[in-house]
Amino acid sequence: MTEAIPLVVQSLYMHDLNGREIVSDVSLHVKRGEVLAIIGESGSGKTSVALSLLGFARPGMRISSGKIFIGGTDILSLSGRGKRAFQGGKVSLVPQNPTTSFSPRMSVGKQMAELLAAHGHSGTGMKQLMRDALRSVDLPDDEKFLRRYPFELSGGQLQRIAIAMAFITSPQVIVMDEPTTGLDVSTQQTILELIARLVKSSSASVVYVTHDLAVVNVVADRVAVMLSGRMVEQGSRKQVFAAPSDDYTRMLLDAIPRLVTDGPAAAPEAEGAIEFQNILEVKNLRAAHGQVEVVHGVSFSVGKGECVGLVGGSGSGKTTTGRCVTGLHSNASGSLSFEGHSMPFAVSSRSKADLSAMQIVFQNPDRSLNPKESVAQSIARAVRLTGLADRARVGAEVRSLLDRVRLPQRVADLYPADLSGGERQRVAVARALAVKPKLLVCDEITSALDVSVQAAVVELLLDLKRDGLAMLFITHNLPLVSEIAQSIIIMKDGSIVEAGRTNDVLRSPNHSYTRMLLDAAPRLN
């Protein structure tokens, strides 16, 4: 039986070095030419399962029992040379982060040749294979390209090479570990199309690991859902999406942001009639990095209690615009007016009141929170900036802020490392709220989070908006912004290409780039 099916996993168990169970009793099989998507949140064990298919466990982890048959041979029973013949030869991996997955001091051509040489290729046949592989992923196949070093290529180009390398040895099983997560939305789309195309024309069994359910819809034949190391549901894509049998799967599906155009008109429509009094006005903003201008004369405004979505791909200038507004990027010209008075670009020339009235929350809470400070210390330091000095009152304020971002009081004494990504981001939001801002700039604050956590953070932002906080929400995620923003600004190459009420922009986009972004946003049906 196991010989007919290229990939069969039988009751796989994995433990960490402290004996904690990371993966329990996972069984699966993938037929020739079939794509199985494994979905789950970070920490669900999905990546551990994926890597185990290559007979590999990350340091600190071990495969304790189970069998993994690749073309009828249990890879876990192999070692040394026998195992290496399978790795890269019969089972290959497309990694999550292309920029850190290539050896930095070797040209990409040499790395491709090294792989082929390890699996018995040589001479002109090898060169021809490399050329064909590069062409199949729409990359140039000349000598000059092969001599490039990883740092000379973009993330998208490197991921194409990684994909080419995964297919080049015609393996029976290909494992893809979140291959689009590290890329921006438009690159994501083209890579996804490329994968779908290659998978269709190949007879390999593919395991595709992701936390993004919408992506699953594009590539998968069957879906397996993982939660805390267990497989809670497995079935055909249609079956899992249309009639999920497990509560957790249903919760995951509900948590996905949907474009308002997909369903009945969402909340922002109801508020559409309200006219907002402007709190922030940006006129003809130009910003440069060194000599290179990256924002070319952008004008927009944000009203009191309004949420404006600033949307664009990487390199569109959206983050730089946000940084100019908050005073973190002063190599700029144009005019900023906040609460009716004009505001200088340099953060050092702004008044204390203006500084606290405008706060920014960054994309990655791992890097914006001090790892040596407890949650309470972090928030209390911000609270004391408002002039509050009394210990008891500072403590009370910290507790009420934790309530406001819906964090349990017990986290107060914990450190960032003890918290999950979503909890950390809520601490970052609480810290920003501590100085009672009137405008909150959110720079991709949900990008690093899982869908379910993302949904909770969005809930929180909607709450804050109801309390009258104005928001500039910077993101590349169009469905997400459609859930919370009243109006949308679409940026491309440093200029605004389209702006207007969320519903108008999404239902009848005028600019081709907006339509491209809309098409690029993966959706569920």
**Residues in touch with other proteins (CB under 8 A):** 51, 54, 56, 58-59, 84-89, 92-93, 95, 97, 100-106, 111, 114-115, 118-119, 149, 151-152, 165
Q: How far is CA 488 from the centre of its chain?
A: 21
Q: What region, left, alpha or beta, does residue 217 occupy, with left being phi > 0 and alpha being psi -120 to 50 degrees?
A: alpha
Residue closer to other proteins (CB basis): 114 or 418: 114
Q: How far apart are CA 144 and CA 151, in angstroms?
A: 15
Pairing mode, strands 173-177 and 91-94:
parallel
Residue closer to other proteins (CB basis): 162 or 496: 162
Asked whether 229 and 45 are in contact (CB, 8 A), the reply is yes
Asked whether 225 and 240 are in contact (CB, 8 A), the reply is yes
Count, residues in the chain: 525
Q: How far apart are CA 360 and CA 326, in angstroms?
A: 7
Smallest distance from other proteins to CB 153, Å: 12
Annotate 233-278 with three-state secondary structure: EEEEHHHHHHCCCCHHHHHHHHHCCCCHHHCCCCHHHHHCCCCCCE
Smallest distance from other proteins to CB 100, Å: 5
Residue closer to other proteins (CB basis): 142 or 254: 142
The structure tokens 């089972």 sit at 91
Coil/strand/helix, residue 209: strand
Smallest distance from other proteins to CB 181, Å: 14
| Continuous H helices in 137-256 | 143-146, 155-168, 185-201, 213-219, 237-242, 247-255
Smallest distance from other proteins to CB 16, Å: 16
Smallest distance from other proteins to CB 7, Å: 16
- By CB atoms closer than 10 A (0-12, 13-18, 19+), residue 118 is middle
Smallest distance from other proteins to CB 87, Å: 4
Smallest distance from other proteins to CB 66, Å: 19
Residue closer to other proteins (CB basis): 86 or 473: 86
Asked whether 251 and 281 are in contact (CB, 8 A), the reply is no
Coil/strand/helix, residue 69: strand
Q: How far apart are CA 404 and CA 430, in angstroms?
A: 8
Smallest distance from other proteins to CB 177, Å: 11
Smallest distance from other proteins to CB 165, Å: 7
Smallest distance from other proteins to CB 46, Å: 17
Measured at the CA of 299, the angle between CA 473 and CA 273, to 5 degrees, comes to 65
Residue closer to other proteins (CB basis): 88 or 244: 88
Residue closer to other proteins (CB basis): 179 or 309: 179
What does the DSSP 8-state code read for residue 511? Answer: S
Residue closer to other proteins (CB basis): 87 or 503: 87
Residue closer to other proteins (CB basis): 96 or 486: 96
Residue closer to other proteins (CB basis): 11 or 100: 100
Residue closer to other proteins (CB basis): 89 or 109: 89
